[in-house]
Amino acid sequence: MIFGDFVYSTSLEIFVAFNKKEFFEALEQIDKKKSLGYLVGYIKYEAWHYFIDEEYCSKTPLLYFELFAERTPFCPNDMEYNVFYPKVVQKQNFTLYKNNIAKIKSAIKRGDTYQVNYTYPIELSTHCNYHHIFSQILKNQNTVYKAFIENQYEAILSFSPELFFELKDRQIIARPMKGTIKRDKDPVIDKQNKYFLQNDEKNKSENVMIVDLLRNDLSKIGSEVRVSALFKILSFPTLHQMISEIKASVDSVSFVDVLRALFPCGSITGAPKLKTIEIIQKLEKKPRNVYCGLIGVLHQDEMCFSVPIRTLYHDKRAKNLLLNVGSGIVWDSVANEEYQESILKSQFIFPQNDFLLVETMLVKNGKICNFSLHQKRILQSVRFFGFQKPDLSKIKIPHNAILRILVDRNGELYQENKSIAEITNFQITLASAPMDSQNDFLYHKTTYAPWYEEARKKIKNNEIFDCIFFNQKGELTEGARSNLVLKINNDFFTPPVNVGILNGVMRQKMLKSRKLKEKVLYKEDIYKAQKIFCINSIRGMVEVFL
């Protein structure tokens, strides 16, 4: 388990709660045992029900803590390649979002609330495992309060920059975060954006509302409550954020005392807190889960907890990941601007590298061979990566050539034509090291494929026809420019897509015509095969040799 700058190990005891009775029993045990090691874990947002004496049950833990004996400094894995690029399966459409903002403004007009932190989930699909996702996102957002927690129920990958509270040396500190603006690649514009955020009355108003709310909450357990910083700007790779800091002096307080006073954090509810929580519950419909709850550690008389914003969550009963986003809505909020801000807050998960989508096609006598299959594949990738749809009717078709089209994020189309060279080298090699099939880029044809770079240089220099790769399980996958076919016992087999391959156009055609069968193939199969073939839409089916 990871929280902040430490990895916690040697688990001694686990505390889990699914209902109100278990919740308060667990909190009592946590307070008793915090001197025995490091108690690391989380409480979900929906636990707010218990602090107003309501019943609430969950099929996943509302509270989960482990008592650890040891901790060591956390050293992030330096990943060689970007592998995580999830597909946005579902997000809230703007019409529903706009309608809910209108309802919030009606509540503000009635005097029920001054500010509502309205959020919604984005559903994400990926081939990647938790560790690869965590390591890659850390390159974008290595925050002070990062967390990696996996148990039998769920996985939580948090990259939160927001401190909920820290209790140390009889002082409690809260740092609410309110106010956001995007970064810009131009340093002059970026500096202007930062200045605007720090001086914008709307953002300052949102921030100070939450500062006042937290001052009031802290006064329930502390004295000498004071604002030690106001409207400071923190900068991250994709955005600038405004924070303030409130401090209070405290005598001996228990974990449950702090929670009764502060939970959930006012920065992710709004003001006044309880009435605003009711409004949120009516509008959001779905549970926030650990998002907007708390994650952190207790040790001896010290506590440190984040507000889990910028957090990926996976219920292991579900197929996809969830990433919740949101923003504070006040009277002068503009729905479109707030919606764009919420989308901006999701961008930290994506790799910070530009790439193009690619489709390579054979043109004969002025006609693109298998164009419908090529078109279908590139448009699938357009949807997966969230690119703008290109106008493929703008392709200028040559008479006889290899036509390579490229599409950028804005849907702009580029093309290259080259002549078809004769094959003079039919030699293939086997890769020296495995490739991980849990890589979102493997399933799409893009200009980002550094794992094939060395092999493609050899192909270009006519040293080999292709290099055949295999995955972490020893399963054969594909070549750097072609799909693999093995003839075994007079049948023709090709690896299935889920081993980590591009679904080539020629492969699709041959499977549909039943000339090929899908089968998981291993390295030893390539040596005992009767024949080896590389197939693609340019060369067709080419017999090759090791």
Question: CA 371, CA 389: separation in Å to the nearest integer?
Answer: 17
Residues 6+ apart with CB under 8 A from 131: 77, 148
245 is catalytic: no
476 - beta bridge partners? 470
Q: What is the CA radius of gyration of the chain?
A: 27
Question: CA 378, CA 384: separation in Å to the nearest integer?
Answer: 10
Terminal Cα-to-Cα distance of the chain (whole angstroms): 45
Asked whether the CA dihedral 19, 20, 22, 24 is positive or negative, the reply is positive
> Helix (H, G, I), strand (E, B), or coil: what is residue 212?
helix
Give the closest residue to 510 by CA, choosing from 544, 536, 475. Answer: 536
Strand (E) or helix (H) holding 154 = strand 154-160
Task: Classify strands 6-17 and 2-3 as parallel, antiparallel or unpaired.
Answer: antiparallel
Q: What is the dihedral of CA 18, 19, 21, 27, to 10 degrees?
A: 50
Phi, psi values for residue 506, rounded to 5° = -65, -40
Question: CA 470, CA 291: separation in Å to the nearest integer?
Answer: 38
Altogether, the residues listed in the chain come to a count of 546
Q: Which position among 44, 178, 345, 445 bears the catalytic label? A: 178
Give the closest residue to 45 by CA, choosing from 58, 30, 27. Answer: 58
Residue 409 is given by DSSP the state T
Give the closest residue to 276 by CA, choosing from 227, 315, 330, 233. Answer: 330
Sequence-ordered alpha helix ranges (H) in 6-78: 20-33
Residue 545 is given by DSSP the state B
Whether 211 and 231 have beta carbons less than 8 Å apart is answered as no
Residue corresponding to tokens 């992030």? 76
How many other CB atoms sit within 10 Å of the CB of residue 190?
A: 16
Q: And the tokens for 339?
A: 């919606």
* Core vs surface per residue 344-368: b (16+ CB within 10 A) or e: bbbbbbbbeeebbbbbbbbbeeeeb
326 - beta bridge partners? 119
Phi, psi values for residue 361, rounded to 5° = -135, 150
Phi, psi values for residue 255, rounded to 5° = -60, -45
Q: Which position among 162, 338, 341, 475 bears the catalytic label? A: 162
Question: CA 465, CA 480: separation in Å to the nearest integer?
Answer: 10
162 is catalytic: yes
Classify residue 104 as left (phi > 0), alpha (psi -120 to 50) or beta.
alpha
Whether 122 and 88 have beta carbons less than 8 Å apart is answered as yes
> What residues act catalytically?
162, 178
